[in-house]
Amino acid sequence: MIPYGGFWWRVLAYILDAIILQIATSIIGGIFGVGLALPLTGLGAGENAAFGMMMFGMIGASLVINWLYFAIMESSKLQATVGKLAVGVVVTDLRGERLTFARATGRYFAKILSSLILCIGYIMVAFTERKQGLHDIVASTLVYKTRDPSVLFDNREVFA
């Protein structure tokens, strides 16, 4: 039986993904944000609404980038984000099959529930029998430890 992906492997994978997403979001925000911010440099105190709308747009863009990254990667043939690949875990449905884009999307947005009340939904991974967080239970998904992370670039079984 393939072991489930434990808490610390998943934390490490998330840290790696967060770094990747921060870099990508910063680059995209820098490209678009500079162009949007230039007209705002001379705004007075009464014109904060335009700045607020720009910030709202940037937060929305960040949410979309994060959602698409996780949903596309986890529903792809790889069944994992770059961080998950690096630590050797994959996401499946309860039958061990690849996620649909809809299920991966549901899993991503269910992470909002996992974040509530001191991230207990994430901490559940350390204590549940199948190492499921609240978002995994809601989306009917499992995370498996598939290989030693030292063989990161030996993905023949993934690309077969």
Q: Please state, in angstroms and rounded to a whole number, the distance separating the CA atoms of residues 130 and 110.
A: 18
> Is residue 155 one of the residues assigned to a domain?
no
Closest CA to 149 of 102, 94, 84, 93: 84
Do residues 93 and 143 make contact, with C-beta atoms less than 8 angstroms apart?
A: no
Number of domains in the chain: 1
Mean pLDDT calculated for residue range 129-133 = 97
- The dihedrals phi and psi of 131, each to the nearest 5 degrees, come to 55, 45
Summarize the confidence of residues 31-49 as an average pLDDT: 61
Answer yes or no: is 43 within a domain: no
Q: What is the pLDDT of residue 7?
A: 97
* Res. 51 pLDDT band, cuts 50 70 90: low
Tell whether 153 is covered by a domain: no
33 domain residue, yes or no: yes
* 159 falls within a domain: no
Residue 152 lies in a domain: no
pTM: 0.83
Q: Please give the C-alpha separations between residue 149 and each of 5, 89, 140, 157, 160, in angstroms, as whole numbers.
A: 12, 9, 25, 14, 19
Two structure tokens written together for 150: 């030292």
Domain region containing 29:
7-37+48-147
Q: Long-range contacts for 111-115 (Cβ within 8 Å, ≥24 apart)?
A: 111/135, 113/138
The answer as to whether 154 is a domain residue is no
pLDDT at 160: 45
